[in-house]
Amino acid sequence: MPRLFAGLEIPAEIGQSLSNLRGGLPGARWVDPENYHVTLRFIGDIDGMSANEIASMLFRVNRKPFEVKVQGLQSFGGKKPRAVVASVEPSRPLIELQAELERLMQRLGLDPEGRKFIPHVTLARLHDASSQDVADYLSVRGYFPSRTFWASRFVLFSSRASTGGGPYVVEDSYALSA
C-alpha cells in the first residue's frame, strides 16, 4: 500500500540554501535536501486501485503557475517543539490550489484534512528538543533572505512507511498551465 501526498517540489538551489541552515540543534533529525517539499494534501496509505483513481483525478486540476516565497524559520509544536520549518507565504494561488485538492480528495471519499493548511518546508523533525534549544537555534538561524520560485507543476509523492523525512518518490506530475 503506498503512502501518498500531493505537494510542490523545492528547486535544488533553494534546497541547497535551506540545507545550509542544518546543524546546531540537539534532538533534531534533519531532512535530506532532496526530500524538501511543500505538502498540499496528505492522502495516506492507499490501496493500488484508489491510488490510480487519485492520480487520474488530479489531472482535472486546471490552475496557472504561480510564485512561491520561502521566508524565515519557525517551529511547530509550541512548548513541545516537534519540527523546524521554513515558512512559505500563503499566497492566494497556493491556498486555492490546496483547497481544490482538498475538495477532490473528499469527493473521492477521503476524510477532510484534520489540520489547518500552513504552507511550509520541514527542515528537521525534533525528538526531545527543548524549547530553549529551539528558541536559541531560531534566534541564530531564523532569518535568511527570502527565496522565491515559480511553481509550474505539483506532484503526487509516495513514501515508504517510516518515521518521516523520506525518501519520497514522484509518482506523477501535474502541470499548472491554465
On whether the CB atoms of residues 18 and 33 are closer than 8 A, the answer is yes
3-class DSSP assignment, residue 105: helix
On whether the CB atoms of residues 57 and 174 are closer than 8 A, the answer is no
Q: Does the annotation mark 37 as catalytic? A: yes
On whether the CB atoms of residues 31 and 125 are closer than 8 A, the answer is yes
Q: Which three cell numbers stand for residue 135?
A: 528558541
The catalytically annotated residue of 120, 121, 123, 154 is 120
Q: Which three cell numbers stand for residue 38?
A: 511543500
Q: What's the rounded Cα separation, in Å, for the pair 44 and 169? A: 14
Q: What's the rounded Cα separation, in Å, for the pair 170 and 155? A: 6
Q: Does the annotation mark 120 as catalytic? A: yes
DSSP 8-state assignment for residue 165 = S
Q: What's the rounded Cα separation, in Å, for the pair 58 and 67? A: 20
The catalytically annotated residue of 37, 98, 126, 156 is 37
Q: Which three cell numbers stand for residue 51?
A: 491510488
Active site residues: 37, 120
